[in-house]
């Protein structure tokens, strides 16, 4: 896949040939378009899921399994106000923007000025800049800006030392607001949980492991049994039986659907620690 900004005078050139952008304009998403050599590509709508797979990796990113899980557990809905640190490559931020649309907003912070500027440009190109505000700030050292105190529905932390930002995050959240911290190492999780104990409750940590399967049609040697079920033949010479009480017959190379785990399945990415701000009595 490749993210392409369409212009009437531009072309996409790859090993399948030359594709004129002018041939794409006006076609619905999902269309199959041909090159000058007869190769083809599909025109796909730019969604947060696809953007996660093609964006420039300025940092390690969160992928679809973690993103979908944390958006659900943080209870992010249209109209929510979300604080995020750090922005990184903007993979999560794009999905957060869609979740809070059309009336919510995401305020995301990164300590690295150039990284924040690049993320801001990406959000403009993907059309979510009206839902996202990017700030340059060291959240670990300075905390979140006081102007968001008590206004945030959810806070997300992706920091080397998230426990340092926990006190500030607690001040930003509404009563009963939710917090999530993403950490690749279990030692980070332990220290973060210790910091959460004072003002947060319902502390839980998850590791999301996604297993993908390939499904395709193929042929296998099989034989037809009495119940009409197709079974793989044993590793021995097959014999054709005839006679009363036996209906076993050869039906080698019958078409079937094959399913197997993908070889490039992604393993451990990180731990997601969730908690909820304690209500004042």
Set out the domains of the chain in order of their start, with CATH numbers. Answer: 9-44 (no CATH), 47-208+263-275 (3.40.50.150)
170 pLDDT more than 60: yes
Is 250 annotated to bind a ligand? Reply is no
Query: Residue 203: what pLDDT?
Result: 97
Average pLDDT, rounded, for the chain = 89
Task: With beta carbons less than 8 A apart as the criterion, state whether 29 and 44 touch.
Answer: yes
Is 209 annotated to bind a ligand? Reply is no
**In terms of DSSP H, where are the helices of the chain?**
48-54, 64-73, 91-100, 113-126, 139-142, 166-172, 186-196
Beta bridge partners of 214: 260
Q: What is the dihedral of CA 15, 26, 1, 113, to 10 degrees?
A: 120
Mean pLDDT of 81-108: 96
Is 129 annotated to bind a ligand? Reply is no
The percentage of residues in the chain with a pLDDT greater than 70, rounded to a whole number, is 87
* Gap between the Cα atoms of 64 and 60, Å rounded: 13
Q: Residue 276 corresponds to which tokens in the numbers above?
A: 């909820």
Is 30 annotated to bind a ligand? Reply is no
Give the global pTM.
0.81
Length of the chain: 281
pLDDT digits (tens, 9 = 90+) for 31-60: 999 999 999 999 999 899 999 999 888 888
230 pLDDT more than 60: no
At 137, the pLDDT band (50, 70, 90 cuts) reads very high
Is 254 annotated to bind a ligand? Reply is no
Residue at token pair 């993907």:
126
Mean pLDDT of 210-228: 71
* Gap between the Cα atoms of 208 and 65, Å rounded: 7
Is 12 annotated to bind a ligand? Reply is no
Is 202 annotated to bind a ligand? Reply is no
């Amino acid at each position: 896949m490749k993210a392409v900004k369409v212009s009437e005078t531009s072309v996409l050139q790859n090993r399948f040939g030359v594709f004129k952008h002018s041939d794409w304009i006006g076609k619905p998403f999902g269309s199959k378009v041909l090159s000058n050599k007869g190769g083809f590509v599909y025109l796909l709508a730019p969604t947060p899921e696809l953007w996660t797979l093609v964006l420039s990796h300025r940092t390690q990113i969160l992928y679809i399994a973690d993103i979908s899980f944390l958006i659900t557990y943080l209870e992010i809905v249209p109209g929510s106000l979300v604080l995020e640190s750090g922005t990184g490559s903007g993979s999560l931020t794009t999905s957060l923007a869609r979740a809070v649309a059309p009336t919510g907003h995401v305020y995301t912070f990164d300590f690295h000025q150039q990284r924040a500027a690049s993320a801001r440009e990406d959000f403009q190109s993907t059309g979510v800049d009206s839902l996202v505000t990017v700030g340059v700030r060291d959240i670990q050292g300075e905390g979140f800006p006081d102007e968001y105190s008590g206004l945030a529905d959810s806070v997300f932390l992706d920091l080397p030392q998230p426990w340092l930002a926990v006190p500030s995050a607690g001040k930003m959240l509404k009563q009963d607001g939710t917090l999530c911290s993403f950490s690749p190492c279990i030692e980070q999780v332990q220290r973060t949980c210790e910091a959460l104990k004072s003002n947060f409750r319902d502390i839980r940590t998850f590791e999301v492991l996604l297993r993908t399967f390939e499904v395709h049609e193929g042929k296998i040697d099989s034989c037809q049994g009495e119940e009409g079920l197709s079974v793989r033949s044993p590793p021995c010479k097959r014999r054709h039986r005839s006679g009363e009480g036996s209906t076993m017959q050869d039906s080698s190379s019958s078409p079937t659907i094959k399913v197997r785990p993908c070889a490039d399945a992604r393993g451990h990415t990180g731990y997601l620690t969730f908690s909820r701000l304690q209500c004042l009595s």
